[in-house]
Chain A
Amino acid sequence: MDKTRKKKKHSAAYDFFVLLFKTKKVSFISMLILIMFILVAIFANVIAPQKMVNGTLVSNLIEGVKAPSLQHLMGTDAMGRDLLSYMIYGARTSVILGISCTIISTIMSVIIGVASAVIGGKFDLFVQRFVDAWQCIPGMLIMLILMAIFGSGILQMILVISIPGGIAGSRMIRSAAFAVKDGNYCKMSKMLGGGNGWLMVVHVIPNIMPMILMNLANSLGGVIMMEATLNFLGFGVDANTPSWGYILTSQGRTKMYTAPWIGLAPGIAITLMVFAAAMFGDGVRDILDPRLKGGMGTFDTYKIRKIAAKYAAEAKKKANA
C-alpha cells in the first residue's frame, strides 16, 4: 500500500456535487428540484390523493369540473379526475421519458461519434455526410414523420425523441473524440497492438467523459420540452396516460375561461421542470466544460471600472474640498 499518499476519502462525483453547491447555488437548487420531481414520480402511487386503477385515473363524469378545494387541492379536470393526482402521475410520465430519452440519446451520440472518429476514413466520411443531411431537416418535421411511422405510446415516444437527439449530439462527441484520438497515448496503444475497439473503450471514452456528462445534462431540458410538445400536438401518449402536455391541449385550451386551473397547472409544471433541467445543465457545463478551463482569462473590466470610478469620485471630492 502506498503509505505516502493521503487517503482519498471521496470519489470524484462527491467532489463535483460539493463544488456545485459551493459555487453555483441556483444550479444546486435546480438539481434538488429535479430530484424532487423524480421522487414524486417514484412515489406517485403513494402521494397521489386519487390512485390509479388499472393504469388510469378513474373519471367521474357526473361530478365534472370542480374548482380547487380542500378535497381536491388543484380542483378536478373535465372528466372529474383529481387534478393534483393527474399532475403527479404526469410527472411520472415526464420523468420516465426525460431520463430514458436523455440516456438513450447520449448513448447513441457516443456510439456514433466515437466510432466515427476512431474508425475514420470512408466510414467517418459517410457518417458525417449522413449527420449533415439529417441536421438540415428541421427537428420538428423529423419527429412528426417518426411519430407517423412509429405511432403513439411511451415506447414509441422514447424512440422518436432519442433518435434525432442522438444523431445531433454526435457532432460534439465526435469532435471531442478526435481531439483525444490524435493524442500520443492512442498511437502508443495502437503500436502495442490495440485495435479500434480497445481504443474506443479504454482510451477515448474515459477521456471524453466530461463532454459526455455535459451532453447528458444539456439534453435533459430539451427532451422534456420535446415530450411536452409532442403530447401537445396529439402525437404522444394515448389519452388515458396522464401527461402534462396532453391535458393542456385537450382541456386546457377549451376550459381556459371556466376552469383556468386546468390550463395553468401543467404549463407551470412544464416550465419549472425545464427550467430546473436547464439551470442544472448550465451548472454542470460551467464546471465540466474542458474548453472553459484555463486559457480564458478571468479579467473582468467591470469590477475594475467600478473601483476606478470610485477613486475618481473620491479624488474629485478631495480636489473640490
Chain B
Amino acid sequence: MSKPNVGHPTTAEMPISGAVQRMIDWDINAQAGVSNAVQEEILRVEGLKMHFPVTKGLLKRQIGNVKAVDDVSFFIKKGETLGIVGESGSGKSTVGNCIMRNLDITSGKIIFDGVDIAPMKGRELKELSKKLTMITQDPFSSLDPRMTVKDSILEGVRIHHLMKGEGNQEDLTKRLLIMVGLNPDFSDRFPHEFSGGQRQRISIARALAINPSFIVCDEIVSALDVSIQAQIVALMMKLQEKLGLTYIFIGHDLSVVRHLSNQVAVMYLGKFMELTSSDELYNHPLHPYTQALISAAPIPKPRIDRTRVRILLEGEVPSPINPPKGCNFCTRCKFADQQCKEEEPAFTDVGGGHMVACHKVTGS
C-alpha cells in the first residue's frame, strides 16, 4: 500500500496502522473541508454571565458578587480563531473556563455545534470533552510529573477508550509527537526532562489526541521565551490549517494575538469593549481602551517607537464587585462624560461587523 505523503519527512520510515491511517485520512479531508465548505458557526455565546459570590461570616452570607464575566456575546465560525485580550482580572480566562464547562455559569447560553452546553452534566459532559479541549498557561504543572509523555498524551484516549491496542496507541503517540515537532523517541521520558516550550508542545499533543474540533488556548505562550512563543504560535497555525481546528486564543500580548486570530475581542472588567477582525482592530481601533492598549504595545522599530504618542490611562481601577454604574471604563477614560458615567453603553455594530461598546463611538 502506498503511503500518502503528508509533508513530514520522518513519517516515511514509520509503519502505518489502521488507526493512524484514519488519522491521515482525517487530515486530508480536513484540508479539503476547510477550503471548500461554507463557514458555519461552531460556537455561539449569548449573554454569558459568571458571577462569583462573596461571602462573609460564619454562615457564609452572600454580601456581593464578583462579576467576572458580565453579559458577553459572540460567535465563532468553524476553522477560525477568536482572540481575547485584556489586562489581568478582565475575565478572559473565566470566559475560557465557562466555555470549557469547568464552571457552572450564572446565566447565558453557550451553543456549541447547535446544542446549548451550559446546562449539561454527567455523561453528556463527558461526551463533550472529546470535542472541546483546553491548553493552559503553565507548562510545568500541567503535566503529571509521574507519568511518561506517552501516558500523558494518551490520557484522553484512554479515558474515552478511543483506541485499543498497545501498538495503535504507540503509533498515535509517535505521530502526534512528530506533528507538534518533537522527536517521537521521547515518548518514554518524563516531563521534567523537557524544556518549557517542549512541554507546551506535549500539552498540545495531548489536546490533539482525542481529535477535538475546538481548542481553548488560555495564555499558552505567556510563560515562554519570545522565540519559543513564535514557534508555538506557528505550530498552532499550522495545526489549525491542517486539522480544521477552531481556537479561542486568550492572551495579553497584542502582537501574538493579532498574528494568530481572525477576530479579536477586547475585554475589560468582564465586558467586551470591542470586537472585530484583527486587522481592523489594529488599524482602526475605535474604543478608547483599545487605543490605549495598542499604543502601549512596543513596536520593534526603535525610531518609530520613540516618536509615537503613548496614551496613558489615569484614574482609579474599579473593583469587579462594584463596577461603575455606567460604562466600566469611565473612571479611566479621558473622553468620559456624564452620560458615560450613568448609562451603560450597548455593544453595537458600527459597520462591517465591528462591535464597540462606547457612547462616544456609537454616538448614542
Contact = CB atoms under 8 A, between A and B. Distances in A.
Contact of B156 (A1, A4, A193, A207): A193
A203 B155 CA distance: 11
A5 interface: yes
B186 A2 contact: yes
Contacts of A2: 185-186, 188-189
Contact of B133 (A187, A191, A202): A191
Q: Which of B133, B143, B155 has the most CB of A within 10 A?
A: B155
B134 interface: yes
Contact of B138 (A1, A184, A195): A184
A276 B142 CA distance: 41
Q: Which of B146, B160, B188, B210 has the most CB of A within 10 A?
A: B146
Contacts of A189: 144, 155, 159
Nearest to A206: B146
B189 A207 contact: no
Contact of B185 (A1, A187, A191, A193): A1
Interface in B61-85: none
A193 B130 contact: yes
A194 interface: yes
A133 interface: no
A183 B141 CA distance: 7
Interface in B197-255: 203, 206, 210
Nearest to A190: B102
Contacts of B125: 193
Interface residue range, chain B: 20 to 34
Contacts of A5: 188-189
B11 interface: no
Given A2-B188, A5-B189, A207 B133 contact: no
A188 B160 contact: no
A198 interface: yes
Q: Which of A1, A189, A195 has the most CB of B within 10 A?
A: A189
A186 to B, nearest CB: 8
B218 to A, nearest CB: 11
A195 B159 CA distance: 9
A192 interface: yes
A150 interface: no
B146 A207 contact: yes
A1 B124 CA distance: 40
B136 interface: yes
Contact of B144 (A4, A185, A193): A185
A187 B156 contact: no
B95 interface: no
A183 B146 CA distance: 13
Contacts of A185: 141-145, 152
A203 B144 contact: yes
Majority SS at the chain B contact face: loop
Contacts of B146: 206-207
A184 B130 contact: no
Contact of A194 (B136, B159, B186, B203): B159
Contacts of B160: 193
Interface in A192-234: 192-195, 198, 202-203, 206-207
A246 to B, nearest CB: 44
A196 to B, nearest CB: 12
A184 B200 CA distance: 13
B117 to A, nearest CB: 13
B295 interface: no
A189 B147 CA distance: 12
Given A1-B185, A5-B189, A207-B145, A192 B136 contact: no
Contact of B159 (A1, A183, A184, A192): A192
B37 to A, nearest CB: 28
B100 interface: yes
Nearest to A182: B141
A2 B150 CA distance: 13
A70 to B, nearest CB: 57
B71 to A, nearest CB: 25
Q: Which of A1, A183, A185, A187 has the most CB of B within 10 A?
A: A185
B186 A191 contact: no
Contacts of B186: 2
Interface string B181-197: 00001101100000000
B97 to A, nearest CB: 9
Top 9 A-B residue pairs of the complex, sorted by shortest distance between their CB atoms: A193-B129, A184-B141, A192-B156, A185-B144, A184-B142, A2-B185, A206-B146, A193-B126, A193-B159
Interface of B: 100, 102, 125-126, 129-130, 133-134, 136, 138, 141-147, 152, 155-156, 159-160, 185-186, 188-189, 203, 206, 210
Given A2-B188, A188-B134, A207-B144, 4 more contacts: A2-B185, A183-B141, A203-B144, A206-B146
21 contacts: A2-B185, A2-B188, A3-B185, A184-B136, A184-B138, A184-B141, A184-B142, A185-B143, A185-B145, A185-B152, A187-B136, A188-B134, A188-B203, A189-B144, A191-B100, A191-B129, A191-B133, A192-B133, A192-B159, A193-B156, A193-B159
